[in-house]
Structure 1
């Protein structure tokens, strides 16, 4: 049964009452709800949006690559899903206001926000140009804050759900990922703060710490000079598929969980970081010496 918080929220007297969007041909847990997934033109964001559509949600797709975003939207429309798309850089607040306006104009409401868009890196701190560090940090922090800030009045009306996509690397840090780890840790703490400040709104604030996941072949991260390079190698046996991760994200939203850590490795990091932090640091330092390519 769907969480009652999605249905029992009182509508403020000043709120415009609108009809819920018609469910897609598929019926499911999210039928009648509207979701926005940032960075959903590709990768995990695209598969999360697809799973939401399959479960009946109307979905707003977002990305910076207009061509790729259009291809994803057309693919979803061909499958019969209720979708719209909006090209927007989520580190630009005005663009985020336009993004939220697209959702409201198309569907009249917003129930679910998933802040997935971000930039990662493969560079050691000492080598990074300051502007590159800022670019990575901004994409993770302001790329989360700005969409939420613009969407907050509408999520308050629906007592909606907000999920910040973080990483297991935020749990204990990761060499060659200083800005990315800092940004992902920041959004986890932001969620905790908002949970306290906005408890009266009934909005769900959660964080999903994603582990190693299969990537699109064209996936790129930034090097020390800000140039796009392939993501560091990860053994396939350690990786979950994008669809598996998307399904875990949806389960997290359904249960309105505060935190979900994906993968056995993520759970191990939590355990070691909490109870044996010195052991955790020793393991990382040892792998830097013996498996440096793992980080590079």
Structure 2
């Protein structure tokens, strides 16, 4: 996938706009911000005073998002980049430095999900989903770390409540998201001396864009599994929680009552938790498929 910084060329770093808000003077990269939670998190950061680099793989959709942000008066540039390719991530970080001269916040949100049971999945599909969730965070962070160290910045990995206890039909996705929690913990220990914040947010069921798709066992895009509307938060609500997590430099944030219940069950009553999942798998199969 080729990379391109949208908008007018920026021959030198531009000053981060002044204003009011918790993130005034800060520069953020939000991967996977052409749509969905990533887009709304980027919007919330801009509204809070940050300059933001938007990212995605679909050039048309990314440009549409960028133009909407520009019309709203936000300080943004965009960069088409596949976050599972390290060279692309280097160019993504370079876009932030070229445009704004610094980097304070990295949110690794881009990933691929699935609706497929492990026994049915093609190996290359498992790898594609897993890589998007693990290397899609590792590569942007590796490219950004020197700049984040200079600013004693913040890194937030976007995970899922399904990583807390596993979920049928989500093996590669759950494994990848769970790996991020251990990665964040390890980096906090290794890089404590840098002052960089490493956190993880476990997102619960969230309203999706109408064209949201996940991969089936053969790697074909299909609609996401049904979720009752009463269980879902809006993308804007999730974005607000993510910003609060970053502002408070929290280690872990679990979104939704269901997510917190999963933590309790997994920690203190793991067998009961598994029984509940197995029972719902049999009785509410459409919930997973």
Same fold (TM over 0.5): yes
Q: Give a deviation string over 1:48-94, Cα, whole Å, max 9, x none.
A: 00000000000000000000000000000000000000000000000
Q: CA deviation at 1:20?
A: 5.3
- What's 1:260 paired with? 253
- What's 1:4 paired with? none
For structure 1, the 5+ residue unaligned runs are: 1-17
Aligned to 1:106, the other structure's residue is in SS state helix
Which of the numbers 211, 234, 237 marks the counterpart of 1:244? 237
CA contact (8 A) 1:58 1:82 kept: yes
- What's 2:4 paired with? none
Q: Give a deviation string over 1:120-148, Cα, whole Å, max 9, x none.
A: 00000000000000000000000000000
Q: CA deviation at 1:21?
A: 1.4
Q: Give a deviation string over 1:232-278, Cα, whole Å, max 9, x none.
A: 00000000000000000000000000000000000000000000000
For structure 2, the 5+ residue unaligned runs are: 1-12
Q: Give a deviation string over 1:110-167, Cα, whole Å, max 9, x none.
A: 0000000000000000000000000000000000000000000000000000000000
Which of the numbers 13, 16, 20 marks the counterpart of 1:21? 16
Which of the numbers 207, 230, 233 marks the counterpart of 2:226? 233
Aligned to 1:215, the other structure's residue is in SS state coil
C-alpha distance in 1, partners of 2:75/2:146?
Answer: 23
Q: TM-score, normalised by structure 1?
A: 0.93
Q: CA deviation at 1:22?
A: 2.2
Q: CA deviation at 1:27?
A: 1.6
Which of the numbers 148, 152, 158 marks the counterpart of 1:159? 152
Aligned to 1:172, the other structure's residue is in SS state coil
CA contact (8 A) 1:90 1:144 kept: yes
Aligned to 2:164, the other structure's residue is in SS state helix
CA contact (8 A) 2:46 2:75 kept: yes
C-alpha distance in 2, partners of 1:45/1:21?
Answer: 21
- What's 2:25 paired with? 32
- What's 2:208 paired with? 215
CA contact (8 A) 1:20 1:109 kept: no
Q: CA deviation at 1:219?
A: 0.1
C-alpha distance in 2, partners of 1:46/1:242?
Answer: 9
- What's 2:83 paired with? 90
Aligned to 1:149, the other structure's residue is in SS state helix
Mapped pair 1:192 → 2:185: yes
Q: TM-score, normalised by structure 2?
A: 0.95
Moved over 6 A (4+): none
Mapped pair 1:150 → 2:146: no
- What's 1:44 paired with? 37
C-alpha distance in 1, partners of 2:248/2:210?
Answer: 32
CA contact (8 A) 2:14 2:99 kept: no
Aligned to 1:284, the other structure's residue is in SS state helix
C-alpha distance in 2, partners of 1:162/1:35?
Answer: 10
CA contact (8 A) 1:159 1:203 kept: yes
